[in-house]
Amino acid sequence: MSHADNIVELQQVEKKYQGIKALQSLDLTLQPGEIFGLFGHNGAGKTTIIKLILGLIEATSGRVSVFGKDPTQAGTRELRGKLGFLQENVSFYDQLTGLEVLEYFARLKGVTRKRCRKDCLELLEQVGLNEACDRRIKTYSKGMRQRLGLAQALLGSPRLLLLDEPTVGLDPIATQDFYHTIDHLKHQGCTVVLCSHVLPGVEKYIDRALILGRGTVLASGSIEQLRAQADLPAVFQLKGRPGLTEELPEDMRLLAISNNTDIKMAVPMYKRMQALRTLTGLSSIDNIDIHLPSLEDLYTHFIQNRCDQEAVL
């Protein structure tokens, strides 16, 4: 994909607030139809990245380009029309109904009066709020407000969607519905940036992730690339009958933490297929569970690594 196709490009970006570095040496490119996860501890710099992309703040140095333009200089209406943004802890005017709120934002976003009602009703249906659309916001639960926030972000079919903690307050079914919506948008070519502290379950929906620590990139890439960088083992959990330990080949026995019929072992990722073939051939084995390093494991690994490095310095 060529340079010109990038939806977002950040090159060697640094951001300081009152002289204090919030981001440094940040390189980031986002392509059409990409779901990108932005992860990091409190104060790592995630919101700062979102604000730079939205053009709300200027980089102290480096280059920020969104749809090929500097977002702080680009025609506001043109850029806003292509962007959708859901902030953390979304709040709306309590006395209005869900439909009224959405129509208000739709008009602000330049949706014509003619299309406004139809578009808003469709979006409310998409986020599962069609039955509550005429109820005042003050009667909405936290999850319903969050869904309304998502509908607001989806107004005008954005080509770039920035979502800060989008699943906070959503129950498991609503979270799944949310990811189905995101998947649907991806297939329409929309680029999505997901900022989250909630790591479990996210990895199957994202194409790439960036892990930030104190304003610097600790790791970035697809889950497979992050696994390769971290070099964490796959954890095998074996269940079998008495004699299982004795049946294990010598090299595997060394890796095993065992009570004889219930064995856990950490196998280097590159050896996992070979280990699986060997294990399935054993006569006293009944079950094998394999846990590959999850996004949460990888996140903990990279953050911990950074802490260890800082402790040495």
Ligand X SMILES: Nc1ncnc2c1ncn2[C@@H]1O[C@H](COP(=O)(O)OP(=O)(O)OP(=O)(O)O)[C@@H](O)[C@H]1O
Using CB under 6 A, list all residues that contact ligand X: 17-18, 22, 40, 42-48
**Which C-beta is closer to ligand X: that of 43 or that of 249?**
43
CB–CB of 132/143 below 8 Å? no
> How many angstroms separate the CA atoms of 298 and 209, rounded?
11
Find out whether 29 and 75 touch, Cβ atoms under 8 Å. Answer: no
Helix (H, G, I), strand (E, B) or coil at 58: coil
Q: In angstroms, give the least distance from the CB of 275 to ligand X.
A: 38
Q: Which is nearer to ligand X, 40 or 233 (CB)?
A: 40
Instruction: Kindly list the distances between the CA atom of residue 299 and the CA atoms of 36, 71, 161, 167, in Å, as whole numbers in the listed order.
Output: 15, 30, 23, 19
Q: Least distance (Å) from ligand X to the CB of residue 22? A: 3
Kindly state the smallest distance separating residue 69's Cβ from ligand X, in Å: 23
Q: How far apart, in whole angstroms, are the C-alpha atoms of residue 202 and residue 152?
A: 22
Cβ proximity to ligand X, 98 vs 166, nearer residue: 166
Nearer to ligand X, 42 or 259 (CB): 42
- Closest distance between ligand X and the C-beta of residue 44, in Å? 4
Q: In the complex, what is the shortest distance from the CB of residue 95 to ligand X, in angstroms, rounded to a whole number?
A: 29
Min separation Cβ 188 and ligand X, Å = 28
Roughly what angle, to the nearest 10 degrees, separates helices 98-108 and 142-154?
A: 30
Q: Which is nearer to ligand X, 44 or 123 (CB)?
A: 44
Report yes or no: 43 and 50 within 8 Å, Cβ to Cβ: no
Shortest CB 213 distance to ligand X, Å: 10
Whether 71 and 108 have beta carbons less than 8 Å apart is answered as no
- What do you get for the CA distance between the two ends of the chain, in Å? 40
Of 6 and 48, nearer to ligand X (C-beta) is: 48
Strand ordering across the sheet containing 8-17: 20-30, 8-17, 61-66
Residue nearer to ligand X on the CB measure, 44 or 267 = 44
**Rounded Cα gap, residues 192 and 209, in angstroms:** 12
Distance CA 26, CA 13 (A): 5
Asked whether 52 and 13 are in contact (CB, 8 A), the reply is yes
